[in-house]
Amino acid sequence: MKINRYQDISEIDKEAKKDYIDRHSAFVHCDSSAKKGEKFKVKVKVGDEYMHPDDFDHYISYVQLWDGETMLAESVFMAGALGNEPGHVEVDFHIVPKKKMKLTAMAYCTKHGLWQSDEVVVDVA
Position with higher pLDDT, 7 vs 84 = 84
Residue 66, C-beta contacts closer than 8 angstroms, at least 6 positions apart: 72, 103, 104, 105, 106
Average pLDDT (54-73) is 97
Q: How many domains does the chain have?
A: 1
pLDDT of amino acid 12:
66
CA–CA separation, 76 and 17 (whole Å):
26
| pLDDT attached to residue 5 | 79
Is the full-model pTM beyond 0.85? yes
Domain residue limits at 52: 3-124
Q: What is the CATH number of the domain that holds 98?
A: 2.60.40.730
Read off the pLDDT band of 9 (50, 70, 90). low
Nearest to 46 by CA among 102, 4, 10: 4
Query: DSSP assignment, residue 59?
Result: S
